[in-house]
């Protein structure tokens, strides 16, 4: 609960104008975690979690973005104890050999970037490549977690299931169980999909209690939380929608707990977007997330397909691009980023070590206990006493 003890049960409303009252929402940078009365040796903390019956040691999912996950990365992330999701509407399933395409994306100038993307992604998604990529991940010993938009799920759902996908992520900027479409146009019934697909279905994205609860009642195996906070996403600027991530995660975690009480089924919450450092991950876990989905931190791995760049899933949209390409550089192997040892001082490497050290400092042995640690509003958390770091662009001042 994000509040001081004496105000924990109070809803803070703000008068926006004579006709509108709004509520305050908080981002990850505005909160801090409070150590409790005990500490735990990080070596005995347990960061494990499960999604769709698949257990993982590291509560991190690599985003379904072309600069982040390809077949080789999905296999390696599985080996490291994490999870990677392949975007079935990306270049991996449009081109037999996506490498020349990725080279062009990395080389183009900023002004020519979006038109190039729109051209490259105009090639049709191929069912044979969907089947092939899933088979390649499984042949490499990886977990075949794949992602598609609701419309692509309608078109390629049978192929995805028949190819043996282990997890299916249905993703859009916003999803809901109550979608109104044009007359005569088919729309995806999420409840029917979850009930009949034969593969655990993870659904996103949402940011509110009500929608998260409805998605769980529809049968979602997991719910992705976050609209617009991603490093390469521009949805908040283009569409003006979203809720800061700390509040969004806490709201959806409350829905998870409500649904558990009514059904006995636990549906993991995955914070998706706006998460860069180990501290960001730990704050999301404390707000109630069971895991996080991250893009830019994984795009910095030497094995990432983006050549040191990262771009949003909606960037190639032919009508309304909602993403950009950012240069993230290459800082080390995926093993270094996930498990260390870290050679950087900014919390972007050895993310598992960050999680376990934070858990130990907070006295949380498990992620469930992490959900119960005290959280306070702390707008100065990242700036207090950091004058020299900021001036010299070091550590937290980068």
- Residues 299-312 have pLDDT tens digits of 999 999 999 999 98
Residue 390 reports pLDDT greater than 90: no
In DSSP notation, 216-241 reads HHTT-SEEEE-SS-STTB-HHHHH--
Which residues are bridge partners to 17 per DSSP?
20
Q: CATH number for the domain including 210? A: 3.20.20.70
- For 306-370, what is the HEC assignment? CCCEEECCCCCCCCCCCECEEECCCCECHHHHHHCCCCCCCCCCCHHHHHHHHHHHHCCCEHHHH
pLDDT value at position 395? 74
Q: What is the mean pLDDT of residues 255-260?
A: 98
In terms of pLDDT, which residue wins out, 220 or 322? 220
Residue 168 reports pLDDT greater than 70: yes
Q: Alpha-carbon distance 40 to 23, whole Å?
A: 36
Q: What is the pTM of this model?
A: 0.92
Confidence class of residue 357 from pLDDT cuts 50, 70 and 90?
Answer: very high
Residue 258 reports pLDDT greater than 80: yes
Contacts of 153 (CB under 8 A, 6+ apart): 160, 168, 170, 188, 193
Q: Can you state the angle between helices 127-139 and 71-80, rounded to 10 degrees? A: 30
Residue 103 reports pLDDT greater than 90: yes
Residue 183 reports pLDDT greater than 70: no
pLDDT value at position 181? 59
Domain membership of residue 186 (yes or no) is yes
In this structure, of 73-77, 180-184, 244-248, the range with the lowest mean pLDDT score is 180-184
Number of domains in the chain: 1
Residue 240 reports pLDDT greater than 90: no
Q: Alpha-carbon distance 167 to 61, whole Å?
A: 12
Cα angle 348, 233, 157 (rounded to 5 degrees) comes to 100
Please provide residue 53's backbone torsions phi and psi, each rounded to the nearest 5 degrees: 80, 5
pLDDT value at position 2? 44
Q: Can you state the angle between helices 110-120 and 99-107, rounded to 10 degrees? A: 160
Q: Can you state the angle between helices 209-217 and 245-263, rounded to 10 degrees? A: 40
Q: What is the mean pLDDT of residues 316-327?
A: 79
Domain membership of residue 96 (yes or no) is yes
Residue 186 reports pLDDT greater than 50: yes
pLDDT value at position 174? 66
pLDDT value at position 184? 66
**How many other C-beta atoms are found inside a 10 Å radius of the C-beta of residue 109?**
7
Tell me the helices (H) and strands (E) count for the chain, helix number first. Answer: 15, 16
Residue 295 reports pLDDT greater than 80: yes
**Residue matched to tokens 């959900």:** 371
In this structure, of 51-65, 217-231, 271-285, the range with the lowest mean pLDDT score is 217-231
Burial 122-145 (b: 16+ CB within 10 A, else e): eeebebebbbbbbebbbeeebbbb
Domain membership of residue 249 (yes or no) is yes
62 sits in the region (left: phi over 0; alpha: psi -120 to 50; else beta) called beta
In this structure, of 217-221, 227-231, 263-267, the range with the lowest mean pLDDT score is 227-231
In DSSP notation, 75-104 reads HHHHHHT-EEEEETTSGGGT-SS-HHHHHH
Q: What is the mean pLDDT of residues 164-191?
A: 78
Read off the pLDDT of residues 123-145 as tens digits, 9 standing for 90 and up. Answer: 999 999 999 999 999 999 999 99
Domain membership of residue 20 (yes or no) is no
Q: What is the mean pLDDT of residues 192-209?
A: 94
Q: Alpha-carbon distance 244 to 278, whole Å?
A: 18
Domain membership of residue 100 (yes or no) is yes
Confidence class of residue 237 from pLDDT cuts 50, 70 and 90?
Answer: confident
pLDDT value at position 182? 65
pLDDT value at position 6? 44
Assigned token pair, 217: 């009642």
The answer to whether the beta carbons of residues 87 and 322 sit under 8 Å apart is no
In terms of Cα–Cα distance, which of 254, 263, 250, 256 is closest to 215? 256
Q: What percent of the chain has pLDDT over 70?
A: 92
Q: Alpha-carbon distance 83 to 94, whole Å?
A: 23
In terms of pLDDT, which residue wins out, 231 or 73? 73
Read off the pLDDT of residues 2-56 as tens digits, 9 standing for 90 and up. Answer: 444 444 445 668 888 888 999 899 999 999 999 989 999 999 999 999 999 999 9
Residue 355 reports pLDDT greater than 60: yes
Name the strand (E) or helix (H) holding 157. helix 150-162
Confidence class of residue 388 from pLDDT cuts 50, 70 and 90?
Answer: low
Domain hosting 68: range is 27-397
Residue 341, class by beta-carbon neighbours within 10 Å (0-12 exposed, 13-18 middle, 19+ buried)?
Answer: exposed
Residue 178 reports pLDDT greater than 70: no
pLDDT value at position 5? 43
Q: Alpha-carbon distance 148 to 170, whole Å?
A: 5
Assigned token pair, 20: 């509108």
Domain membership of residue 6 (yes or no) is no
Assigned token pair, 222: 């997991």
pLDDT value at position 82? 98
pLDDT value at position 7? 42
Burial 266-297 (b: 16+ CB within 10 A, else e): ebbbbbbbbbbbbbbbbbbbbbbbbbbbbbbb
Domain membership of residue 21 (yes or no) is no
pLDDT value at position 1? 42
Q: What is the mean pLDDT of residues 370-386?
A: 87
């Amino acid at each position: 609960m994000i509040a001081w003890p004496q105000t924990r049960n109070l809803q803070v409303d703000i008068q926006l104008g004579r006709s509108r009252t709004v509520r305050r929402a908080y981002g990850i940078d505005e909160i801090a975690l409070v150590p409790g009365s005990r500490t735990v040796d990080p070596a005995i903390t347990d960061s494990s979690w499960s999604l769709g019956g698949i257990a993982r040691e590291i509560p991190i999912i690599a985003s379904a973005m072309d600069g982040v996950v390809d077949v080789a990365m999905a296999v390696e992330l599985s080996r490291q104890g994490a999870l990677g999701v392949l975007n079935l509407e990306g270049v991996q399933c449009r081109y037999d050999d996506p490498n020349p395409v990725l080279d062009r994306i990395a080389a183009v100038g900023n002004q020519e970037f979006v038109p190039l993307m729109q051209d490259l992604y105009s090639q049709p998604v191929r069912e044979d490549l969907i089947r092939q990529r899933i088979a390649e991940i499984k042949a490499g010993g990886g977990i075949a977690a794949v992602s598609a938009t609701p419309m692509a799920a309608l078109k390629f759902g049978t192929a995805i299931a028949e190819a043996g996908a282990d997890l299916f992520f249905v993703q859009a900027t916003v999803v809901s169980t109550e979608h109104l479409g044009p007359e005569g146009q088919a729309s995806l019934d999420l409840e029917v999909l979850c009930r009949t697909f034969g593969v655990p279905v993870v659904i996103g994205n949402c940011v509110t209690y009500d929608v998260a609860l409805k998605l769980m009642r529809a049968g979602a195996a997991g719910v992705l939380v976050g609209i617009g906070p991603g490093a390469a996403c521009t949805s908040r600027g283009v569409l003006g929608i979203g809720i800061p991530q700390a509040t969004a995660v806490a709201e959806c975690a409350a829905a998870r707990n409500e649904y558990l009480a009514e059904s006995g089924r636990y549906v993991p919450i995955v914070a998706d977007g706006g998460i860069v450092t180990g501290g960001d991950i730990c704050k999301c876990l404390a707000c109630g997330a069971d895991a996080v989905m991250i893009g830019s931190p994984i795009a910095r791995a030497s094995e990432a397909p983006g050549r040191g760049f990262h771009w949003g899933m909606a960037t190639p949209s032919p009508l309304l691009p909602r993403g950009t390409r950012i240069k993230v550089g290459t800082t080390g192997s995926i093993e270094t980023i996930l498990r260390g040892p870290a050679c950087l001082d900014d919390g972007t490497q050895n993310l598992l070590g960050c999680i376990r050290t934070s858990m130990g400092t907070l006295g949380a042995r498990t992620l469930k206990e992490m959900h119960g640690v005290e959280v306070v509003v702390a707008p100065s958390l990242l700036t207090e006493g950091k004058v020299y770091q900021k001036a010299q662009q070091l550590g937290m001042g980068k």
